């Protein structure tokens, strides 16, 4: 059977949409992504949201649930918590939980300890915000199922990504490099949902890192992909997240093979197209929105089908047809390379003493001592300079995931390859070609959905791996990791094509939480003041700023709510026009000594703001309950 973009009319689809807040702790919680101890949350610029899309093939009853989450990474712990809370008929086989990969979201929600290293341990409140929000969005999408026209379109987007690892990319064969003549993947893909001729939902896939915001930023941000979704929903369609429930239009901007794609066009953190990280976020997000919104696709036909398996990536025997050298090889237990600790210099440097490529001390240690003692390790991991033996450490304290869920979802002519890692564009091309050849599908209709259902770090080609740039150093299971995944994908694609089941494999064993962060706050107002009192106010041009006597934001995360409101005086009273999820606002929190703290609310009136009287409000919580502080009214002309 061949799946294409045209053919006989397909059975009617049902589709539904849902959205929910998944913002974690806005103060004193380490952010996940850059791995910097000093990057602790200190407020909110934009909230993080989960957007869920449910699809049902009415004829066969097959179903898929896709949830795009504005998270740094997707954790096995989150997947384990969410799946049992979904309705019957939804499980690991047909649910894809995928992350947009912002680097400015609260961490601490993993059970594998490596990812909680800068959060003081496991953060139960952030974990609950994420899992509760994803569950709410999923239930809303399933409840919203209704006859829906699905359309699929493709386009090209340049000026929103750059290859941050040219030295590794250049090692790939000419035939692979020729597919990406600018060393970027420009394909932008849009799946739309229409009811009665009206657009009610959209999912876009485009490869660029969600790292316009730098490791100097301490405000929670959904970054450029979050801005793209916000722009379409809020600024174009007029959604009110606090009042609408599920807005009339729900849009998600998901990742593909973004492993070596950066939005920092100037090839340094926070550079390109401007020198301001906030403006870069807006511009790169707007470019993704504009490219997606310009597409109008062909009505989709065909059905829905899924295949999922768990692969123990530490022990895969990879057959000669996938290794590329005519010989059988084996993957090894996970090891982090010295280059991994260097970080991706274009997006944010890592740790001092490490660099991409050669690391003489670590190279010598591996070459002269470790590899001679372990030929199998050498075959899998050479030329990596071994720095973090995560496999052996896992036996004592679980640090990283070893059993990877690999998924193939079909929605009409669209195929999504779910990989729990950061896949480079050429590695993605090989996975896509593997599946497309077996399925008889156009290559443009087969996408890698990276950052899905867990996290195993990077996936590079063997040629890129040999360069030992940041991405290769972070390819934990060695140079045969991608061939192992291609071999797995071939089995899934064959089973899906032939309509037969696959061996589901064995999922990651449950990981106990060994270290929990203890939430301790002792709030007190400033001497002679009450919670919510205004400490200062300033209006400079169209920017208003007010500081208030605050309480710790961790007392109540105000999920599906807000720590601030901008209010406009109308004939019938004060009306909220903006909150802490809006681009025009920022909420900042800081300690002012001992148990006292300050909340600072800033609003920059957008150009279309009507003249009138406005005020800023701060909403906080103590152990005794909520309180609100309000600034004096001010005029915007």
Contact criterion met (CB below 8 Å) for 103 and 34? yes
Rounded to the nearest 10 degrees, the angle between the axes of helix 223-230 and helix 277-293 is: 50
- Active site members: 262
What's the CA gap between 209 and 50, in Å, rounded? 18
Segments of 463-572 assigned E as strands: 534-540, 543-550, 564-570
- Backbone conformation region of residue 164, classed left if phi is above 0, alpha if psi is from -120 to 50, else beta: alpha
Alpha helices (H) along 329-469: 360-365, 371-373, 375-381, 390-394, 425-439, 462-467
DSSP 335-353: -EEGGGGGEETTTEE--TT
The answer to whether the bond into 273 is cis (omega within 30° of 0) is yes
> How many residues does this entry show for the chain?
637
Q: What share of the chain is helix, strand, coil (3-state, %, to 5)?
A: 25, 30, 45
**Residues contacting residue 380 through CB under 8 Å, at least 6 positions apart:** 329, 330, 331, 332, 477, 478, 479, 480
What's the CA gap between 158 and 443, in Å, rounded? 19
269 closest CA partner among 385, 349, 347, 366: 347
The residues facing 16 across adjacent strands are 54
> Helix, strand or coil for residue 25?
coil
What's the CA gap between 96 and 116, in Å, rounded? 23
- Residue 231: DSSP 8-state: I
Tokens of 37: 């101890």
Rounded to the nearest 10 degrees, the angle between the axes of helix 481-498 and helix 425-439 is: 30
């Amino acid at each position: 059977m061949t799946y294409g973009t045209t053919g006989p009319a397909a059975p009617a689809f049902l589709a539904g949409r849902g959205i929910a807040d998944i913002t974690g702790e806005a103060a004193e919680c380490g952010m996940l992504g850059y791995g910097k101890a000093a990057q602790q949350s200190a407020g909110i610029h934009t909230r993080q949201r989960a957007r869920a899309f449910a699809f049902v093939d009415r004829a066969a009853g097959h179903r898929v649930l896709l949830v795009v989450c504005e998270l740094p990474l997707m954790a096995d712990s989150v997947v384990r918590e969410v799946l049992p809370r979904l309705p019957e008929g939804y499980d690991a086989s047909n649910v894809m939980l995928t992350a947009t990969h912002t680097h400015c979201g609260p961490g601490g929600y993993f059970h594998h300890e490596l990812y909680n290293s800068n959060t003081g341990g496991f953060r139960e409140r952030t974990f609950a915000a994420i899992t509760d929000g994803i569950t709410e969005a999923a239930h809303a999408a399933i409840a919203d199922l209704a006859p829906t026209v699905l359309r699929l379109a493709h386009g090209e987007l340049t000026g929103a990504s750059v290859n941050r690892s040219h030295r590794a990319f250049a090692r790939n064969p000419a035939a692979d490099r020729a597919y990406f003549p600018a060393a970027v993947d420009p394909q932008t893909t849009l799946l739309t949902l229409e009811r009665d001729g009206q657009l009610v939902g959209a999912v876009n896939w485009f490869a660029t890192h969600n790292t316009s915001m730098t490791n100097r930023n301490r405000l929670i941000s959904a970054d450029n992909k979050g801005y793209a979704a916000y722009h379409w929903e809020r600024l174009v369609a007029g959604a009110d997240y606090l009042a609408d429930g599920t807005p009339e239009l729900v849009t998600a901007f998901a990742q593909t093979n973004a492993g070596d794609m950066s939005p920092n066009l100037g090839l340094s953190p926070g550079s390109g197209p401007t020198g301001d990280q906030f403006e870069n976020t807006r511009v790169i997000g707007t470019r993704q929105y504009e490219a997606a919104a310009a597409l109008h696709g062909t009505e989709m036909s065909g059905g829905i089908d899924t295949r999922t398996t768990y692969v123990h990536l530490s022990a895969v025997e990879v057959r000669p047809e996938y290794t590329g050298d005519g010989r059988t090889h084996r993957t090894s237990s996970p090891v982090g390379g010295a280059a991994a600790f260097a970080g991706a210099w274009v997006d944010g440097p890592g740790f001092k003493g490490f660099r991409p490529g050669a690391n003489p001390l670590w190279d010598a240690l591996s070459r002269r001592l470790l590899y001679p003692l372990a030929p199998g390790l050498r075959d899998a991991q050479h030329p990596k300079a071994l720095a973090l033996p995560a496999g052996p450490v896992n036996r004592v304290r679980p640090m990283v995931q070893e059993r990877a869920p690999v998924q193939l979802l079909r929605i009409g002519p669209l195929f999504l390859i779910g990989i729990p890692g950061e896949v480079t564009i050429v590695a993605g091309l090989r996975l896509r070609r593997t599946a497309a050849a077996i399925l008889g599908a156009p290559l443009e209709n087969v996408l890698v959905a990276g950052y899905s259902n867990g996290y195993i770090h990077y996936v590079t080609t063997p040629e890129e791996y040999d360069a030992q740039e940041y991405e290769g150093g972070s390819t934990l299971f060695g140079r045969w990791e991608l061939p192992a995944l291609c071999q797995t994908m071939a089995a899934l694609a064959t089973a899906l094509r032939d309509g037969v089941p696959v061996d589901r494999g064995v999922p990651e064993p449950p990981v106990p939480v060994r270290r929990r962060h203890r939430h301790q706050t002792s709030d007190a107002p400033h001497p002679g003041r009450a919670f919510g009192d205004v400490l200062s106010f300033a209006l400079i041009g169209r920017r208003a700023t007010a500081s208030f006597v605050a309480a710790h934001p961790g007392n109540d995360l105000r999920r599906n709510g807000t720590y601030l409101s901008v209010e406009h005086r109308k004939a019938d009273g004060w009306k909220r026009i903006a909150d802490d999820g809006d681009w025009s606002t920022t909420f900042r929190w800081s300690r002012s000594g001992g148990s006292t703290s300050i909340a600072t609310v800033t609003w920059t009136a957008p150009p279309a703001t009507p003249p009138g009287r406005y005020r800023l409000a701060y909403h906080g919580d103590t152990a005794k309950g909520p309180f609100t502080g309000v600034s004096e009214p001010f005029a915007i002309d």
